[in-house]
Amino acid sequence: MSALPSTRSDTPVSSKRLFPSFFLGGFECSTHKRECGQRLDLIASTRHDLFCRQDYERLAGEGILTAREGLRWHLIEQRPGRLDFTTALPMIRASSETGIQVLWDLLHYGWPDHLDVFEPEFVSSFADLAAAFARFLQNEMDGPFYFTPINEISFSSYAVGEKAIFSPYCKGRGLELKAQFILAAIAATEAVRAILPKARFLTVDPIVNVLADPRRPSLRAAAESYRTAQYQSTDMLCGRIWPLLGGREEYLDIIGVNYYPHNQWIYPGRMIPRTHPQYRPFREMLAEVYERYRRPLFIAETGTESRSRVPWFRYVCDEVLAAMDNHIPIEGICLYPIVNHPGWVDDRHCPNGLWDYADDRGNRKIYVPLAEELQRYRAVFEARLRYERGDSLDGFPVLKGEAAAPALSGKMA
């Protein structure tokens, strides 16, 4: 991308966009069980529950004013029907004190032991959780309020019900579970709207590309069917398929897409890298999602590990800029996770965040190369937002049209 005028500012651009900052930080919050029966709690493992105030201050210091968080349902409802949101209170208060806008996942893998995810009681219990949390938030802080009822319905139903990757480790029940999650998401949305009618809702799922091996053309139909299955849960939610579940277009508000280096592969399972000749540009995938649903989009999760963090972040940002050049409404990019965490399977140290583990005082070492790249792209996107609004850059009017385009689209120099 061509060099821009100096656009670094201490405060992100204020506009009518959905979130107060273009870049978001997501805190890993999974609580599902390992096969051995041990329950994960990544909020506790990363000590974010202890140091959320400092974590939010760190976000603000980097110009990130929006965070993704998740409820830990197994702690909130330790006895059937008795809900205690004490574990969410530190994040709620830290949000109010630091000005960080939180997007809440009501379910991000994992539920209380007394619930069977396939039974009708799961749906009603989840709706009760959503309603109680909406009331709790209403009493603790002012809006706006954002909720993701169930994170990654497609992947969750696949991992839990189809391939026995997550507890309760079922096989062959993926579609059944997907329908159950849709019922639960609808019930939770209605429960929240009854209390917070202006609440906004995020539908978050992975975005993928699946190709047939060119040497095996007989697999093309199967590969394409696998690829288009990524839209099945969202189509259910908005009533385009399986309308008896109760889906309607009004349940589709904001679309969040999760995108990682492993999200493209050759059917039936070989991942392809960005250097592969058949790798599909991310901008095209974003355009396909937008054309299908015509809703505002944001990148709800993206990131990778170790030294690959910077080139991957750069690729995603450049592709988002290209998508925006093509009039795709992208509202933000969430670095996920924003802090390193222990691995789901083996507790290994995953170097995939902007910050590392916290010490006993809540200090976290920042990964400087990614922090520097974040600030470079923060300046680019802030300049772009000013351009879209017709504001000025450093006191000079923004040119519109072809004269301004080289500085606001393309690749970073």
- Please tell me the CATH code under which domain 23-408 is placed: 3.20.20.80
Q: Is the pLDDT confidence value at 394 over 80? A: no
Selected residue with higher pLDDT from 6 and 153: 153
Distance (Å, rounded) from C-alpha 377 to C-alpha 4? 11
The structure tokens 């109760």 sit at 246
Instruction: State how far Cα 190 lies from the chain centre.
Output: 22
Q: Which residues contact 388 (CB under 8 A, 6 or more apart)?
A: 15
Distances (CA, A) of 97 to 203, 245, 363: 28, 41, 19
pLDDT at 398: 39
- The model's confidence at residue 340, banded by pLDDT at 50, 70 and 90, is very high
The string over 265-277, giving b where at least 16 C-beta atoms fall within 10 Å of a residue's C-beta and e elsewhere, is bbbeeeebeeeee
Q: Are strands 270-271 and 264-267 parallel, antiparallel or unpaired?
A: antiparallel
Q: Phi-psi region for residue 16, left (φ > 0), alpha (ψ -120 to 50) or beta?
A: alpha
- pLDDT score at 391: 64
Sign of CA dihedral 314, 413, 377, 285: negative
Over its C-alpha atoms, the chain yields an Rg (Å, rounded) of 21
User: CA distances (Å), 185 to each of 10, 52, 151, 235, in order?
Assistant: 38, 27, 10, 13
pLDDT of residue 13: 40
Q: Write the pLDDT tens digit of every residue in 142-185.
A: 999 999 999 999 999 999 999 999 999 999 999 999 999 999 99
346-353's contacts with Cβ under 8 Å and 24+ in sequence apart are 350/305, 351/305, 351/306, 351/309, 352/303, 352/304, 352/305, 352/306, 352/309, 353/303
What average pLDDT score do residues 38-42 get? 96
Nearest in space to 21 (alpha carbons), one of 49, 62, 74: 62
pLDDT value, residue 337: 98
What pLDDT band is residue 5 in, cutting at 50, 70 and 90?
very low
Residue 404: per-residue pLDDT:
36
In 213-296, the DSSP E strands lie at 254-258, 264-267, 270-271
Where residue 388 falls among pLDDT bands split at 50, 70, 90?
Answer: confident
Report pLDDT for 2.
30
Q: Using the Cα atoms of residue 317, residue 310, residue 363 and residue 86 in order, give the sign of their dihedral.
A: positive
User: Distance between CA 67 and CA 297 in Å, rounded?
Assistant: 16
The rounded percent of the chain whose pLDDT value lies above 70 is 91
CB neighbour burial string for 45-78, b if at least 16 within 10 angstroms, e if fewer: bbbbbebbbbbbebbbebbbbbbbbbbbbbbbbe
The residue that leads in pLDDT, 399 or 148, is 148
Chain CA centroid to CA 201, Å = 12
Q: Which helix (H) or strand (E) holds 392?
A: strand 392-393
> What is the dihedral sign for C-alpha 42, 65, 237, 133?
positive
Q: Is 189 within 8 Å of 201 (Cβ atoms)?
A: yes
pLDDT at residue 408 above 80?
no
Domain boundaries, given as residue ranges, for the chain: 23-408
Q: Please say if the pLDDT value at position 3 is more than 50.
A: no
* Mean of pLDDT over the chain: 91
Neighbour-count burial for 81-103, b at 16+ CB within 10 Å, e otherwise: eebebebbebbbebbeebebbbb
Structure confidence at residue 268 as a pLDDT band (50, 70, 90) = confident
Average the pLDDT over each of 10-19, 48-57, 170-179 and give the range with the smallest value.
Answer: 10-19
User: What local confidence, expressed as pLDDT, does residue 276 receive?
Assistant: 94
Question: Over the stretch 341-351, which tens digit does the pLDDT of each residue have?
Answer: 999 999 999 99
Contacts of 353 (CB under 8 A, 6+ apart): 303, 335, 337, 338, 339, 340, 341, 367
| pLDDT (average), residues 105-129 | 97
Over residues 364-391, the mean pLDDT reads: 93
CA distance 69 to 64: 14
Question: Tens digit of pLDDT for each residue in 199-228?
Answer: 999 999 999 999 999 889 999 999 999 999
Tokens describing residue 302: 């993206």
Is residue 140 scored above 80 in pLDDT? yes
Which residues have a Cβ under 8 Å from the Cβ of 66 and sit 6 or more positions away? 19, 20, 21, 23, 24, 25, 100, 101, 102, 103, 332, 334
